[in-house]
Amino acid sequence: MKTQVAIVGAGPAGLLLGHLLRAEGIDCVIVERASADYVLGRIRAGVLEQITVQLMERIGLDARMKAEGLPHDGFNLADGDRLIRIDIHALTGKRVMVYGQTELTRDLMAACEERGLQVVYDASDVTLHDVDSDSPSITYAKDGASHRIDARFICGCDGFHGPSRKAVPAAVGSAFELVYPFGWLGILADVPPCNHELIYANHERGFALASMRSETRSRYYVDVPVTEKVEDWPDERIWDELATRLGPEAAAHMTRGPSIEKSIAPLRSFVFEPMRHGSLFLAGDSAHIVPPTGAKGLNLAASDVHYLSSALIGYFKAADHDGIAGYSSRALARVWKSERFSWSLTKLMHRFPSDGAFERRMQLAELDYIAQSETARRAIAENYVGLPL
């Protein structure tokens, strides 16, 4: 098979990129190692920046998001006793949209056949070849047969553990990583949220987050040591811990119910440079990971897709090589700023094992400063809604 662009990974980044290219008449094929059901079963982010919303609008797949998503004008930081509201709309003129990544992926998947976007699921042994040439290819196995895709470019949207980043020679790439000593224990339940906006809480017992997927489905998190096991956290224990960490105001409005999903997600900050090698481009989690504290993971992938789709469209439709050449530096400039924000908010809201009384006092002083300073709140709001492209 021959195509102009081969995309590895059918998560939201790969699907969004595929739809943007197909809308401009560019041939592309997506190869995904997992099944469609597995891709849809991943419980991930739920806060969308305007760039993500605008890209869905651009390809005309925003109807359900606009009907079912929840526009938010702000969010809250909690220090154990009070809620510090960050009024992002008043401070920046922008909003975020609460709409689950699963639902966004479902919208993208549902439109593939109608729009001629070919996706190969259950592709095993995906391997990239000759990425430093002008004629790269992908091989994979499916249904007992071997297959090959020849392309002009390959776009790796296959996540942290995918094969794309591994195709970049060690002498070419550099990885920067910070692994955190805790993970997020998440619980999903069909109960109304305790607050109409998100609450990020810093309590002496640790971090907690009150979030939602809809007006009737809530997503909560507490941080736990990386050695913890989900089986040691029955629902009632999680609810009790949430009530303590979120503070009395949130606890008074919290509705308890049986979990429909529980899991522990490790936290890391990770960046790989460069995001282009020859005819291979990296986008999304294949190139960078952020702790979920700043709600940047999916949105950073969307900004990568914005830069990458523009570069590829310019190349194929106008013989413009500048976008291709500048993709990595443009994307990384935004990546590192988002990494900084996610790292700083994680440091502010979590208790690290090495922290003592001094570090705790610094966190409380910072939160008190944020509560009293509009300038501090504006800086947080500008980063939370997404820095300019």
Nearest-Å Rg of the Cα atoms of the chain is 21
Question: What is the DSSP code string of 201-212?
Answer: EEETTEEEEEEE
Is residue 218 within 8 Å of residue 193, measured between CB atoms?
yes
Sheet holding 75-78, edge to edge: 83-86, 75-78, 199-203, 206-212, 218-225, 174-189, 259-273, 288-289
Amino acid at the residue 377: R
**Alpha-carbon distances of 275 from 55, 163, 183, 231, rounded to whole Å:** 21, 14, 27, 39
Task: Enumerate the active-site residues.
Answer: 72, 200, 292, 296, 384
What lies within 8 Å, CB to CB, of 78 at 6+ separation is 84, 199, 200, 201, 202, 203, 246, 247, 250
Distances (CA, A) of 127 to 11, 55, 124, 147, 238: 18, 29, 9, 11, 42
Distance of CA 332 to the CA centre of its chain: 15
CA atoms within 13 A on the CB side of 167: 30
211 closest CA partner among 99, 342, 67:
99
| Residue 120 φ/ψ region, left for φ over 0, alpha for ψ in the -120 to 50 degree band, beta for the rest | beta
Cβ count within 10 A of residue 319:
7
Burial of 136 from C-beta contacts in 10 A (0-12 / 13-18 / 19+): buried
Structure-block tokens of residue 369 = 């400063």
Residue 294 makes CB contacts below 8 A (sequence gap 6+) with 338, 341, 342, 345, 346, 383, 384
